[in-house]
Amino acid sequence: MAKLGVNIDHVATIRQARGGIEPDPVAAAAIAELAGADGITIHLREDRRHIQDRDLKLLRQTVKTKLNLEMAATDEMVGIALSVKPDMVTLVPEKRQELTTEGGLDVRINMQGLAEVVERLQDGGIIVSLFIDSDPDQVKASSKVGADYIEIHTGSFAEATEWKRMVTELERIENVVKLGSKLGLGINAGHGLNYTNIKKVAAIGGIEEFNIGHAIVSRAVLMGLDRAVRDMVDLIKYA
Ligand code: PXP
């Protein structure tokens, strides 16, 4: 059975909306683990819009499953990763203006630079994954630069509104899973996966872990709202 890595970035997004201390992603990670998550994923962005350096450091101490750090392949981030030592680093492209990670890494365009980053991280004992589109050439390039894992960007599948397009995207994912396995890469997948579309991708064998964030945090807000309102009503009523 494939594993679930829970991305808790959006818990930090809510905290940053007020610049305060709650909700704390460290507490969210503990709850996710108690509920059965196999790993915790966070993205420390250059602009620190959600996850902060403090979160990464505390999560390194508290996460008991596996800590996966998504980050850009920059000197600053490599330095942070080598000092904090998450279990896994997933290298992602990063643009300042984007709302979320928009596409996969173009591994082919910067093979030497990426190979160096992969090696530095691996020398520090960190497993390295590359977030790529479901493109066979990117899979081959990921293998060539020495990555341990690829994470297949499932955004194009998740955004497909027509049945035919969705089937095509699923086939592309299936093909790169086969190719990646043949090349000895571990395979994860994520982005845009939700309670409706997960079944189709999970039915493809060979994917080790799904990284899911937005859908889980969105559901948590709605499922938890009833209880949160009742608790406040009681406090007012019995004051
Ligand atoms: N995997 C990667 C590499 C990501 O950048 C993200 C978004 O931060 C996710 C998975 C999770 O995507 P979503 O929040 O859409 O579930």
Q: What is the pLDDT of residues 184-220, one digit of tens each?
A: 999 999 999 999 999 999 999 999 999 999 999 999 9
How large is the average pLDDT for residues 222-239? 98
pLDDT for 96 equals 66
pLDDT for 69 equals 98
**Check: CATH 3.40.50.2020 for 3-237?**
no
Atom in ligand 1 nearest the alpha carbon of residue 43: 8
Give the gyration radius of the chain's Cα atoms.
18
- Whole-prediction pTM: 0.96
E-strand stretches of 100-165: 127-132, 149-153
Atom in ligand 1 nearest the alpha carbon of residue 212: 16
32: tokens are 């996710």
Catalytic residues: 43, 70, 191
pLDDT at 10 over 90: yes
- Cα(104)–Cα(124) distance, integer angstroms: 24
Nearest to 91 by CA among 172, 149, 13, 49: 149
Nearest residue CA, atom 9 of ligand 1?
191
Which pLDDT band holds residue 57 (cuts at 50, 70, 90)?
A: very high
pLDDT tens figures, 143-187: 999 999 999 999 999 999 999 999 999 999 999 999 999 999 999
- Cα 134 to Cα 42, 100, 130, 218: the distances in Å are 22, 18, 12, 26
pLDDT tens figures, 87-139: 999 999 987 667 767 789 999 998 999 999 999 999 999 999 999 999 999 99
> For ligand 1, is residue 3 a contact (CB within 6 Å)?
no
* Length of the chain, in residues: 239
E-strand stretches of 9-163: 39-43, 67-71, 88-91, 127-132, 149-153
CA–centroid distance, residue 8 to ligand 1 (Å): 10
Helix axis angle for 25-34 and 9-18, nearest 10°, is: 150
pLDDT for 95 equals 76
pLDDT tens figures, 18-55: 999 999 999 999 999 999 999 999 999 999 999 999 99
- Cα 118 to Cα 11, 36, 66, 186, 192: the distances in Å are 29, 30, 19, 15, 26
